[in-house]
Structure 1
Amino acid sequence: MNYKHLHYFWTVLRAGGIVRASEQLHLTPQTLSGQIKQLEERLGQSLLRKAGRGVEPTDAGRLAMRYADEIFALGASLQEALASGRDSRPAAVLRVGIADSVPKAVAFHVLEPAMALAEPPRLACHEGGLTSLLGELAVHRLDLVVSDVPAPSSLSVRVYTHLLGRSQLAFFAAPRLLRATSWTARRARQAFPACLAAMPMLLPGTPAALRPRLDAWLRQHALTPPLAAEFDDSALLKAFGREGQGFFAAPAVLADEIAQQYQVEWLGTADDLVEEFYAISVERRITHPAVSVITATARGKLFARHPL
């Protein structure tokens, strides 16, 4: 690959168009377009397409731009290191997609081991719906997706699901809610799960993978507490729980942390209600060093705290 041609392509996208880039590079627009065409022919992919009066990157162009950013940042770092006599290489970037329904605390603890590596990567975390994140993963815009459901078998792209671990669900309520419903924290724990019927509940929104299992568990135990609110954001749900607006469920693996952070009482744990967490990658056998330590630590440490 001709890296001068790659630099021309990179400059076009950074400058916002071929005309502006040609002025910066002191080339005619026709010459610049021809050089980028040669790069596309060499790579066997179209990198740019027309968009109104200008151009925009194709999917392959966005991928190439990501690599070009790192290549030319490394080149600038080399110049700085030679001038200063100090190694100033930028940290490698680990791009992680986090499904909306994954609790933020779980995502943090899953990713935390990567930051303890001798040469930790620079994390770039993106939150969104699982389908869109898997699309980004398939075209290598992400290195990893953390999810509470496996990748759908109907997916048209090839990705691989790796189980990180399982956690039972624990239930929590603020002391003010327990007082308001005439339950002391001690009595509530002894009466679990019957105590839940006397309190309003906060539930994840219907798109969440956990929601139908929670609904089924409540029916199974003949519990019909009033629904106070539903949330797509698990952190917002817990914030409402902290203020006594209702009881809520969260992974038991984080029970002590949640009780302390949100100042709530741990009412009990549902042994028959389990949430699972997955790492989804394009590798069948994980070789990426940061992803490898993430999966190994989650299985051997994080989720091993509360084995089922």
Structure 2
Amino acid sequence: MPLNYHHLRYFWAVAHDGNLTRTAQRLNLSQSALSVQIKELEERLGHPLFERRGRKLHLTEAGRIALDHADAIFATGQELVATLQDEGNARTALRVGAQATLSRNFQIGFLRPMLARSDVEVILRSGNPSELLEGLETLNFDLVLMNHEPASDSLTSFETHHLAEQPVSIVGTPVRLDPKRPIRDLLEEQPFILPTTNNSVRTAFDSMASRMSVRPQVAAEVDDMAMMRLLAREDIGLALVAPIVVQDELSSGRLVEAEEHPRIKESFHAVTFKRRFPNPLVRELLTYSLPQ
């Protein structure tokens, strides 16, 4: 039996609205009639598309996949109406969450294989770890990028894929940073721009300073790498970052790097959620990116 596209459009409207009653009013239908239409679509597809949590409707995993296809179908229809000379290409969505403290340069490098494709639409959002992992569980993200592994136990459905590991450096303006100065002297003499205390790199830095019996002056604690980069360029202090974060400034000489490294490494992980119907683009992307 062919798919009933009226049913699909009703589902599409409810999925984007998130409220059955409000959608029924907007479409000038009774709530019961709208429910019947969606029920018939679920029977045709063989999977429930929504689950009710309290008073709210949430997409199931099958519902998220159906919504992706519905978005593509109705977008193509709009393009067809707009111009008969351009049939348009269906674009598959890849929803990625990224920890706010993660290097933008790393994110672009990781996503480059998908960003270069005309048939893929990359939707990228940043947030804190708890928000991102919740987004994975509710199927709002296909994949999340983090600089630490999430806690795991027998009840957890997260899968962590180690992508890369990069040494962290101390960088600053040529006026402030003498690259040949030992780290101990820099810790004693210069203010530092550091990640916030819930960051693994910050934890390693604090341990290093403690071992040296030094209490560095903290000029700023920042949970955003773009802001850390900007503060370093503005000569607010020395920044503790992976060189990839400031690669343009290092190349131009606007910032320089201390020759002695703090022996701290930042790890990069892709976190996925065990799904019955995983987005095939995730496996493609991980194939490009995982160490061989």
TM-score, scaled to structure 1: 0.76
The Cα of 1:46 is off from its aligned counterpart by 4.4
Distance 1:296 1:31, change over 3 A: closer
**What's the counterpart of residue 263 of structure 1?**
254
**What's the counterpart of residue 180 of structure 2?**
190
**What's the counterpart of residue 160 of structure 1?**
159
The Cα of 1:88 is off from its aligned counterpart by 0.3
CA distance in 2, matches of 1:276, 1:17: 41
CA distance in 2, matches of 1:174, 1:135: 39
Gaps of 5+ in 2: none
**What's the counterpart of residue 43 of structure 1?**
47
Letter in 2 for 1:7: R
The Cα of 1:294 is off from its aligned counterpart by 5.2
The Cα of 1:48 is off from its aligned counterpart by 5.7
Query: Would you say 1:296 and 2:279 are equivalent positions?
Result: no
**What's the counterpart of residue 227 of structure 1?**
218
The Cα of 1:131 is off from its aligned counterpart by 2.2
Distance 1:16 1:201, change over 3 A: closer
Of 157-166 and 29-38, more deviation after overlay is shown by 29-38
Distance 1:139 1:213, change over 3 A: same
CA contact (8 A) 1:95 1:142 kept: yes
CA distance in 2, matches of 1:210, 1:295: 27
Query: Would you say 1:200 and 2:191 are equivalent positions?
Result: yes
Distance 1:262 1:122, change over 3 A: farther
The Cα of 1:164 is off from its aligned counterpart by 0.5
**What's the counterpart of residue 239 of structure 2?**
248
CA distance in 1, matches of 2:282, 2:33: 42
Query: Would you say 1:135 and 2:134 are equivalent positions?
Result: yes
Distance 1:80 1:254, change over 3 A: closer
CA contact (8 A) 2:15 2:67 kept: no
**What's the counterpart of residue 67 of structure 1?**
66
CA distance in 2, matches of 1:128, 1:63: 25
CA contact (8 A) 1:201 1:228 kept: yes
CA distance in 2, matches of 1:262, 1:204: 23
Let me know the Cα RMSD of the aligned residues.
Answer: 3.5
TM-score, scaled to structure 2: 0.79
**What's the counterpart of residue 183 of structure 1?**
none
**What's the counterpart of residue 237 of structure 1?**
228
CA distance in 2, matches of 1:102, 1:111: 13
Identity %: 24
Of 206-215 and 130-139, more deviation after overlay is shown by 130-139
Gaps of 5+ in 1: 179-187, 301-308
Of 96-105 and 141-150, more deviation after overlay is shown by 96-105
Name the SS for the 2:263 alignment partner: strand
CA distance in 1, matches of 2:167, 2:18: 51
Of 245-254 and 166-175, more deviation after overlay is shown by 245-254
